[in-house]
């Protein structure tokens, strides 16, 4: 479980300063729209969104140990559902969002039902194929505008979307903290991840718990998709259902620290900054894919517990860094 908190209990040092830090960061983020330029508001909004998306992937990928390689489909679905709700059904934004999230969760439960009974490899394959299929569906249907995409009612208020993203991301992290770090549900998930057979033997209904976790992990991307759609006003299959969405989620979680509470946030922060920087320097291109792929491979090979893992090993103290280096070179 969270080693920072547990080690803290063991050493009985006060962890109040962690909460203070968090509080400060939260307060600062509340006033950001008043103090920075529109460009930076956009950048920070996007970081929040990705931090939330990465954490949702982390729920099923990191905490439960089942890799959803088509997770971007829930994001895209949410975008389209909110779009259709607002344009064709003329529902208000909030209702559209809720509907997006719930629909995504339901679909996840349907997909999860046969696949989560089997080994992780099946789940990875099935979710990947699911993602591909959803993209194709969006390209064929008329109601989604097909390959041309769809337009949403314009609403250009950067601050509004900033606060909505902040709020939903905060909700994602709060939910993860309450449900996954502190509750029976979280303990059961961790037990499933560490030794599923043994968990089953002590009475944990592994399949039902996994389906619930998957549904939860799909709810938030659905909502984020809806917000994103309204924010950028125009969506099409490649922008909201492209494979790169899942790719980003995966690299952010693994780079940050898979299975940890703050890893995804860290990973989202680092990856988004690097991505924006590359975009500035090299323009729109496909090179970022090479970097994402290489980063994933490097993390798996060398730092499987991500940046958070490095921090936990106290790599920034000289002794810690030296011992880590020695372990690494032993390969």
Partner 1 sequence: MLLQSHELTISFGGLTAVDRLSLAVEKGSVLGIIGPNGSGKTTFFNLVTGAYAPDSGKVIFEGKDITGLRPHRIAQLGIGRTFQIPAPFSKMTVLQNVMVGTFIHASTMKAAKEKAWEILERVRLDEKANHQVVNVTLEDRKRLELARALATEPTLLLLDEAMAGLTPVEVKAAVELIQSLHTRGLTIIVVEHVMDVILSLCHRVVVLNYGRKIAEDTPDRIVNNQEVIKAYLGERYSARN
Partner 2 sequence: MELFLQTLIDGLLIGGLIIVVGIGFSLCFGVMHIVDFAVGEWVMVGAYVSFLFVRHLGHDPMIYLPLIFFTFCACGWVIYPLIYRAVSGKRHNPVLMGLVFTFGISILAKGGALSVWGYHIQSITTWLSGKSISLGIATVPALRFSGFAFGILITILFMIFLYRTKWGIVIRATAQDRDTANLLGADVRKVGAFVYSLYAGITGMSGVLIGALFSIHAAMGAKYCTLAFFVVVLAGMGYVPGVIIAALILGLLQSFVGVYIGGRYNLVALFMVMYGVLLITPKGILRKGI
Choose the contact partner of 260 out of partner 1, partner 2, none; CB within 5 to 8 A by kind. none
Considering only residues 154 to 193 of the shown chain, the ones binding partner 1 according to CB under 8 A are 183-184, 187-188, 190-191, 193
**Measured between alpha carbons, how far is 85 from 329 in angstroms, rounded to an integer?**
56
Choose, by CB under 8 A, the member of 51, 250, 261, 271 that binds partner 2: 250
Number of residues engaging partner 2 in binding (CB under 8 A):
51
**Measured between alpha carbons, how far is 64 from 180 in angstroms, rounded to an integer?**
10
**Measured between alpha carbons, how far is 318 from 66 in angstroms, rounded to an integer?**
36
| 11 in contact with partner 1 (CB under 8 A) | no
Nearer residue to partner 1 within complex by CB, 212 or 236: 212
CA-closest candidate to residue 227, choices 88, 52, 27: 52
Number of residues engaging partner 1 in binding (CB under 8 A):
25
Pairing verdict, β 150-151 and 234-235: antiparallel
| 35 in contact with partner 1 (CB under 8 A) | no
| 314 in contact with partner 1 (CB under 8 A) | no
| 200 in contact with partner 1 (CB under 8 A) | yes
**Measured between alpha carbons, how far is 324 from 184 in angstroms, rounded to an integer?**
34
Which residues sit opposite 151 in a β-bridge?
234
| 26 in contact with partner 1 (CB under 8 A) | no
What is the x/- site pattern for partner 1, positions 231-270, by CB under 8 A?
Answer: ----------------------------x-----------
Nearer residue to partner 2 within complex by CB, 135 or 212: 135
**Measured between alpha carbons, how far is 148 from 234 in angstroms, rounded to an integer?**
10
Tell how far CA 128 is from the center of its chain.
16
Choose, by CB under 8 A, the member of 16, 31, 156, 201 that binds partner 1: 201
Torsion of CA 34, 39, 40, 44, to 10 degrees: 110
Choose the contact partner of 198 out of partner 2, partner 1, none; CB within 5 to 8 A by kind. partner 1
Which residues sit opposite 234 in a β-bridge?
151
Choose, by CB under 8 A, the member of 6, 13, 18, 118 that binds partner 1: 6
| 121 in contact with partner 2 (CB under 8 A) | yes
Considering only residues 269 to 328 of the shown chain, the ones binding partner 2 according to CB under 8 A are 285-297, 300-301, 304-305
- Interface residue list for partner 1 (CB under 8 A): 1, 6, 9-10, 183-184, 187-188, 190-191, 193-195, 197-207, 259
Q: What residue ranges bind partner 2 (CB under 8 A)?
A: 65, 67, 69, 111, 113-115, 117-122, 124-126, 128-130, 132-133, 136-137, 139-140, 193, 243, 247, 250-251, 254, 258-259, 285-297, 300-301, 304-305, 331
């Amino acid at each position: 479980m969270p080693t920072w908190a547990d080690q803290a209990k063991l050493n009985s040092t006060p962890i109040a300063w962690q909460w203070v830090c968090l509080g400060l960061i939260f307060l600062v983020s509340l006033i950001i729209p008043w103090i920075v330029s529109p460009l930076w508001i956009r950048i920070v909004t996007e970081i929040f969104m990705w931090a939330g998306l990465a954490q949702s992937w982390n729920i099923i990928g990191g905490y439960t140990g089942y890799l959803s390689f088509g997770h971007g489909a829930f994001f895209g679905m949410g975008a389209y559902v909110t779009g259709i709700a607002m344009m064709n059904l003329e529902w208000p934004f909030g209702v559209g969002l809720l509907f997006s999230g719930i629909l995504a969760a339901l679909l996840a439960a349907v997909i999860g039902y046969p696949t989560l009974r089997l080994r992780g490899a099946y789940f990875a394959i099935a979710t990947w194929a699911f993602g591909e299929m959803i993209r194709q569906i969006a390209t064929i249907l008329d109601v989604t505008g097909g390959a041309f995409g769809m337009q949403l009612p314009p609403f250009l208020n950067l601050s509004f979307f900033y606060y909505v993203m902040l709020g939903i991301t905060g909700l994602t992290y709060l939910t993860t903290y309450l449900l996954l770090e502190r509750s029976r549900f979280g303990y059961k998930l961790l037990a499933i991840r560490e030794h599923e057979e043994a968990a089953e033997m002590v009475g944990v209904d592994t399949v039902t718990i996994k389906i619930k976790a998957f549904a939860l992990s799909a709810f938030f991307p659905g909502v984020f998709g809806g917000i994103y759609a309204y924010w950028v006003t125009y969506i099409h299959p490649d922008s909201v259902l492209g494979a790169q969405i899942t790719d980003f989620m995966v690299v952010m979680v693994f780079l940050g620290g898979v299975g940890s509470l703050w890893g995804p946030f860290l990973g989202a922060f680092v990856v988004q900054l690097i991505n924006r920087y590359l975009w500035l320097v090299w323009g729109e291109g496909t090179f970022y894919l090479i970097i994402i792929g290489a980063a994933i491979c490097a993390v798996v090979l060398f730092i499987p517990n991500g940046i958070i893992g490095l921090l936990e090993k106290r790599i920034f103290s000289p002794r810690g860094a030296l011992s880590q280096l020695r372990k690494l070179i032993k390969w």
